[in-house]
Structure 1
Amino acid sequence: MSNSLYQQENLTKLNQLKHLAPEQLHAYSEFNSTVLQEGALSRKEKVIIAVAIAHAKEDTYSIYIHTRTAKAEEVSLEELVEAVFVASALEAGGAVAHSSHMQNASDPNAPDAFYDKSNVKKLNNLKEWAPDGYKAYSDFSAAAMKEGKLSAKLKEIIAVGAAHVTECPYCIDAHTKKAEKTGATKEELSEAILVTSAVLAGGPYAHMVNLIQSYEEEK
């Protein structure tokens, strides 16, 4: 047996789920296939979102599976790379936005509410205290969100999905508003969030191959 926990052939172990948990497997499969169907967002847009979310989740199996699906849908490598850079920018943005909590922790007069919208004003302090780093972050974020092979609208939709992965309320608020300004509809955003949900569900699903592999190992 290989010592590697991440072998492509490990995925064949998922076939055992048909016998181990058939009802749950069927429900998961229906969920996953349904949210990737053509709707307010095209299937191509949805598989691009799925690849970006898989990277935000840092899920090796999901990256592999959704990248292969995207390639089959004739998504270019350039489009996928741009989508992943959006996810990367959202990961960076979550840390920057949450610096407000670092500031509140050292302020005895800070409000008790952890997620007050006014907290975003504190980002100006970060810009003052670490100007070079903050500018580099801002330049990176702007470049990641700039229209390219992917439209600005799709990038903002991806950003909303990624913000739900990073669980950053500030990012969800900011990018939802930006997405709406680019013309994104509530239907499109809702579908993107459900794609995100399915990819997140896919992490534990795919990693059951490791559970099965570990269980089958001899003591």
Structure 2
Amino acid sequence: MPDTPTPLIWLAGASGLVGRALLWELGQQRGQERPVPPVLALLRRPAPSLPVQTALVDYAQPASFAALPAPGQVFIALGTTIAQAGSQAAFRAVDFDAVLTVARAARQAGARRCALVSALGADPRSSVFYNRVKGEAEAALVALGFERLVIARPSLLDGERASLGQPARRGEQWALRLMRPVAGLIPAAWRPITPERVARGLRLALAQEGAAVQVLDSAALQTVGD
């Protein structure tokens, strides 16, 4: 009997801190006895240095996903800041519209599992615009009806954006300078977390059986797999 093809993984946001960590995390499974799904990184522009197959998509054009090979699961690590985006509308276009476009395209193509990188404080009823958009994106993905949806809500990411060619986030840099020396005294739900921890937590949680929707706060992400 021929082997059953291993379902593909879509990864959106591979150029970011958690996205790059996910590339490494998913790649560490290679060589194990259990078949590992190949990864397809969805990109807005070419990135020849990525160690996986890539596909160019337009997040504002859902039709650009139609020709992609069907995934079994999808990891979504898209995100920006209002300062980088330039306006609230541009921020929402990434953190809500693009996220939902990827998730909906994956679901329509047959994906059964989805992992989303959200943020601490995400709440669709929040008075804070950033948190509200993040919460609305979570709710929109829940409504798509994945068999399993894992949502990560990390606190401040402790990673080096410059090494990825990303613009500096000054507020983030100052916060890290203040918090790193006393990280051990900060409650786990609030202390900075590395992108690698977030990526590992998402991969392990999505691979498990469990509730249709599971939310992992930063404290849980710190210990998944330990």
Same fold (TM over 0.5): no
- Answer 1 or 2: higher relative contact order, Cα 8 Å, separation at least 6: 1
Q: TM-score w.r.t. structure 2 length?
A: 0.31
Larger helix fraction of residues? 1
Larger strand fraction of residues? 2
Q: TM-score w.r.t. structure 1 length?
A: 0.31
